[in-house]
Structure 1
Amino acid sequence: MILFDMFGVIARHQSPDGKDRVAAIAGAPDTAFWDAYWGLRQPYDRGDVTGPAYWRRVADELGTDFDERRIAQLVEADIASWSAVEETMVALIEELAAAGRPIALLSNIPEELAAHYEERHSWLKRFQVRAFSCRIGHAKPEPGAYLWCLEALGAAPDDVLFVDDREENIRAAEALGLRGHLFTSPANLREALGLSV
């Protein structure tokens, strides 16, 4: 069983242009904005708060106020900034699924972004389990995220290879007995999976 992270593996991290657009809409100093954005992100990813509630918290942290119109713009711009995928990795997912290799997905992702991906990317249906943090109530590297996946898959930890681009997430998975692969490139992953490069 291969358990994939999404952002930084199959989908791209935020684009520079996308990040600039989000920050411009917020209208806050760059460092302070991104400190608030990431410092408050885990509850949003975990589904504890909605998009509007998250952005109100960011505004509070910045000592400002976002009206409903600006919050809607921020939600839209944030989604757009995370919307690009790596076509080489999408092709690999399709290849693995066609070969009957069992695959699953574990992603830190807020509800608005999860819905965006579900509406636009049919390859998500290739995964036997789609563990979106906003819907399972746990976000990596919290142990509950990995344990939820193991239970949903009915798999023993050492039967699962977890693929992620963040070392802290790999370490957390390995602490629970999963095998880890730190993603650096599609070619290195193919080699680790015993596939031709």
Structure 2
Amino acid sequence: MAAGHRIVLFDLFGVIALQQRPGSLARMAACCNAPTDAFTTAYWELRPPYDAGRQSAPEYWAGVLRLLSRPADPGTTEELRLADIDSWSRVDRRMVSFTRSLRSRARVAVLSNIPADHADAFLAAQPWMHSLDLLALSGKINTAKPEPAAFHHCINALHAAPADFLFVDDRAENVGAARAVGMTAHVFTGLDDLVEVIDSWLATGAGSPTASRH
């Protein structure tokens, strides 16, 4: 398989970008005078349609506030929306550098669960991402991991075969979903381990027994 056909497909949060800022959910809960535990439950339970672009930010936040029996006034929903975007805004600089350097050896793409308004803000703050071969952002493509459609979107958009991909994600559920559509996939635990996995995969070919053990 030609090197130009090999594609490293990265998750964003927990891999290239950092996870949500510690304490963010408690601060958002305080914005609407809600208990942190109840806010956290509502925040995550209602998230999937928002992540997948099937619900707007105002619709999502109105739903969260309604579940918490709090008024969904425009000022509160916008305060929560902006606080939420900021909470997911950090990147791992070492991973950014590695991702950019990898483009000399393979095509590089991102498949991330991220609402559309978050995606706009993130890309504005991280313009280097526009140079990647594909940005498959769930709020923009209307499907989210671990749905098979999210992976097939990447396959079709890059005119590739599943075996052309090495998918890297910190969630085992998403790695399993990628393998189910025929991709090689790796559960991300850190850069040092990832470098070894990618070097081996590029040296031996996508879908090799060595690569697929990870």
**Residue number among 113, 116, 133 corresponding to 2:121 in the alignment:** 116
Distance 1:32 1:44 in 2: 19
Q: Does 1:83 align with 2:89?
A: yes
TM-score under structure 1 normalisation?
Answer: 0.95
CA contact (8 A) 2:167 2:178 kept: yes
Query: Percent of pairs identical after alignment?
Result: 43
Q: Does 1:151 align with 2:143?
A: no
Distance 1:125 1:35 in 2: 34
| 1:85–1:77 distance in 2 versus 1, CA, 3 Å | same
CA contact (8 A) 1:93 1:123 kept: no
Give CA deviations for 1:51-76 in whole Å, capped at 9, x if unaligned.
11100011111122221101110001
TM-score under structure 2 normalisation?
Answer: 0.87
Q: CA deviation at 1:100?
A: 4.1
**Residue number among 165, 183, 193 corresponding to 1:188 in the alignment:** 193
Give CA deviations for 1:6-45 in whole Å, capped at 9, x if unaligned.
0000001101133332222132112211111111101001
Q: How many residues align?
A: 194
The amino acid across from 1:89 in the alignment is M
SS of the aligned residue for 2:110 comes to strand
Following superposition of structure 1 onto structure 2, how do residues 1-197 of structure 1 map, counting pairs within 5 Å? 1-97=7-103, 99-194=104-199
Aligned-pair Cα RMSD in Å: 1.2
The amino acid across from 2:114 in the alignment is I
Gaps of 5+ in 2: 1-6, 201-214
Gaps of 5+ in 1: none
CA contact (8 A) 1:46 1:137 kept: yes
The amino acid across from 1:146 in the alignment is F
